[in-house]
A and B are shown apart, each in its own frame.
Chain A
C-alpha cells in the first residue's frame, strides 16, 4: 500500500448564514494514496467542486481539515495545481506566455523558460498556435494550453474541476486520452471532478460517488480495468451500468 497523499477529515462547508445558509459538505472523510487517479462523481450542487477548491486552498472549510503529506492546508500552493472548467487562461497572454506563467513566477531564466515551454507546446500539439491569443483558439486548444500551463509547474497533485465539461464529445474523449498518457508517465495524484460517468470510468483508478447536498460519500469503487481502456468493452459496460444506477438513485432520491 502506497502512502497517503491527501487526507480530508470531517470537512464541513456551509455557505451563507447559520440556520439560513446551504450546507454543501457535511463531515466528509477521504484519504487518497499517492499516485491515485481519483474521480469524483455526483449530482450538481453536491459540493464536489467545493471539495476541490478547499483542497486547493482557495476556499476555507467551515469545519474539518485537509492534510497533504501530513501537513495542514492553509492556502494555495504550487504543489497543488488546478485545472478549471472555464480554462482560466490569461486573455492578454499568448498561448506561449500563458504556459510559461508559472516559470515566470518562479523567476526561471529566459532560456530555460523558452526551452521548457517549447517542450510543452510540443507535447500538447500547440506549436503552430504558440503566438495565438486564447480568443483565437478553439475550446479544446484553450484547455490544452491550460493543461500545459498546469503541468509545466510539475505539481504533486492535480486538481481538476470538470475540465472537459465545456468541450464537445470528440475533443473531450481525445483530451481524456492525452491526459491519461501524460499521467501514466508522471503518476501524479489526481482529483478529477466530473459529471460524466464514461469519463470517470475511462480515467480513474478509483471512483467516488457523492450524495446530493449536503455532500457525503455514497459509494467508493475501485476501477481496475487494464489501460488503455475501451469504452465499448463488456467490462466497461458492466461498470457503466452499475455507476449509472448508483447516480440515478441519488438524483431521484427524495427526502
Chain B
C-alpha cells in the first residue's frame, strides 16, 4: 500500500513537470495523459458492452445512465444532504476519537506505568474490526446517528493512540537532554519538547484515521442509519436502481479522495519544519 501511494505521488510530480517545462515534447504529453488512459478505456468498454448486451439496465447500466443518475442526485439535493449527513458523523466520531486518543497516547508514551496498565486493553480491543462492533452498537444505541458516530470513533481511536504513544517514545533523547541542561522542568520538557517532537507521528495517526473514519461511516450507514452516502446506495439497491448504486459509489470515491487531498494539504502546512519527512 505504501509503494502504491509513493507511485501515485511520482505520477503527480511528473504531470506537474509537463506543465512547468516548455511544452511541445511528445513524450511529456504522453506522460501527462497516461494516468487517464485506463479509466477512459474501462468506461468506453463498459458503455459499449452495456449497449450491445441488450440493455439490461438493472444488472449493468451503461456509464452514461449512471452519469444521468448522478446529475439527478445532485440536482434534487439528495446527494448533498447525504454527504452532509455522513460528514457530520465523521466529524463527530473523529473529534471524539482525537479528544480521547491523543491524551491516552501521550500518557502511554510518556509513562511506563500507564503503558503497561493500558497496553493489554488496547491490544485486546484493537484487532476487533469496526464492522464487528455494529450489532452491539445497534443493540445498545438503536438505529441512528449514535451507532454510526460510535463506529467512526471505535475505528479511529486505535491508530491515533498507537501513533501518538509511538511518537512520544521515539523523541530523540538528545532533545530532552538539551532541554534538561537548560533547566527545563518535567512539565516544560513535556510541553516544549516531547509534544512538539511527537507531532509528526501524531499527525500520521490522524491522517490514517481520516481514511478509516470515512470507510467506517459508510459501513455503518449501510446497516445502522437511514441517511448518508452508505444509506444512499443501500436504498438504491432496494429500489433496484443499479445506476443510482453506481452513482453513489462514484460519489463516495470522490468524497474520499477529496478528504485525503485535504488532509494531506493541512498536514503539509502544519509541519513545514519537517522538510520532506511526512510525505508518506
Once the chains bind, are B273 and A86 in contact (CB under 8 Å)?
A: no
Once the chains bind, are A102 and B182 in contact (CB under 8 Å)?
A: yes
Once the chains bind, are A76 and B193 in contact (CB under 8 Å)?
A: no
A45 at the interface (CB under 8 A from B): no
- Give the residue name and chain of the B residue nearest to A159 (CB): B181
A159 CA to B182 CA, complexed, in Å? 12
A76 CA to B174 CA, complexed, in Å? 13
CB proximity to A under 8 Å, residues B166-194: 172, 174-175, 177-185, 188, 192-193
List B contacts of A102 (CB < 8 A): 182-183
Mark A81-95 against chain B: 1 for CB-CB distance below 8 A, else 0. Answer: 110101011111100
Q: Known: A77-B183, A105-B183, A133-B273. Contact between A88 and B178, CB under 8 A?
A: yes
A106 at the interface (CB under 8 A from B): yes
Mark A131-157 against chain B: 1 for CB-CB distance below 8 A, else 0. Answer: 001110000000000000110010000
Out of A58, A134, A159, which one reaches B180, CB within 8 Å?
A58
Once the chains bind, are A91 and B182 in contact (CB under 8 Å)?
A: no
Residues of B within 8 A of A (CB): 172, 174-175, 177-185, 188, 192-193, 196-197, 199, 272-275
11 A–B contacts from the bound complex (CB under 8 Å): A56-B177, A76-B177, A77-B181, A84-B178, A91-B197, A91-B274, A92-B197, A92-B199, A93-B273, A133-B272, A153-B182
Once the chains bind, are A90 and B177 in contact (CB under 8 Å)?
A: no
Once the chains bind, are A78 and B192 in contact (CB under 8 Å)?
A: no
Once the chains bind, are B174 and A92 in contact (CB under 8 Å)?
A: no
Out of B177, B181, B196, B274, which one reaches A78, CB within 8 Å?
B181
A9 CA to B3 CA, complexed, in Å? 56
List B contacts of A149 (CB < 8 A): 178, 182
Q: Known: A84-B174, A90-B175, A90-B193. Contact between A105 and B184, CB under 8 A?
A: yes
List B contacts of A58 (CB < 8 A): 177, 180-181
List B contacts of A101 (CB < 8 A): 179, 182, 192
Q: Known: A58-B180, A135-B273. Contact between A88 and B196, CB under 8 A?
A: no
A104 at the interface (CB under 8 A from B): yes
Q: Known: A84-B174, A135-B273. Contact between A92 and B196, CB under 8 A?
A: yes
List B contacts of A90 (CB < 8 A): 175, 178, 193, 196-197
List A contacts of B180 (CB < 8 A): 57-58, 75-76
A78 CA to B179 CA, complexed, in Å? 9
Task: Point out which of B174, B181, B188, B272 has the most chain A C-beta atoms below 10 A from its C-beta.
Answer: B181
A134 CA to B188 CA, complexed, in Å? 21
List B contacts of A93 (CB < 8 A): 273
List A contacts of B179 (CB < 8 A): 101, 105
Once the chains bind, are A86 and B181 in contact (CB under 8 Å)?
A: no
Once the chains bind, are A92 and B273 in contact (CB under 8 Å)?
A: yes
Once the chains bind, are B188 and A86 in contact (CB under 8 Å)?
A: no
Once the chains bind, are B181 and A56 in contact (CB under 8 Å)?
A: yes
Closest Cβ–Cβ distance, residue B180 to chain A (whole Å):
4
A105 CA to B182 CA, complexed, in Å? 8
Once the chains bind, are B273 and A76 in contact (CB under 8 Å)?
A: no
A80 at the interface (CB under 8 A from B): yes
- Give the residue name and chain of the A residue nearest to B193 (CB): A90
- Give the residue name and chain of the B residue nearest to A104 (CB): B192
List A contacts of B172 (CB < 8 A): 86, 88
Out of B183, B185, B192, B273, which one reaches A153, CB within 8 Å?
B183
A75 CA to B182 CA, complexed, in Å? 12
Once the chains bind, are B273 and A91 in contact (CB under 8 Å)?
A: yes
List A contacts of B272 (CB < 8 A): 133
Once the chains bind, are A88 and B175 in contact (CB under 8 Å)?
A: yes
Once the chains bind, are B196 and A86 in contact (CB under 8 Å)?
A: no
Out of A76, A86, A88, A135, which one reaches B275, CB within 8 Å?
A135
Task: Point out which of A92, A149, A153 has the most chain B C-beta atoms below 10 A from its C-beta.
Answer: A92
A88 CA to B178 CA, complexed, in Å? 7
A77 CA to B180 CA, complexed, in Å? 7
List B contacts of A75 (CB < 8 A): 180
Task: Point out which of B188, B197, B273, B274 has the most chain A C-beta atoms below 10 A from its C-beta.
Answer: B273
Closest Cβ–Cβ distance, residue B184 to chain A (whole Å):
5
List A contacts of B182 (CB < 8 A): 78, 81, 101-102, 105, 149-150, 153
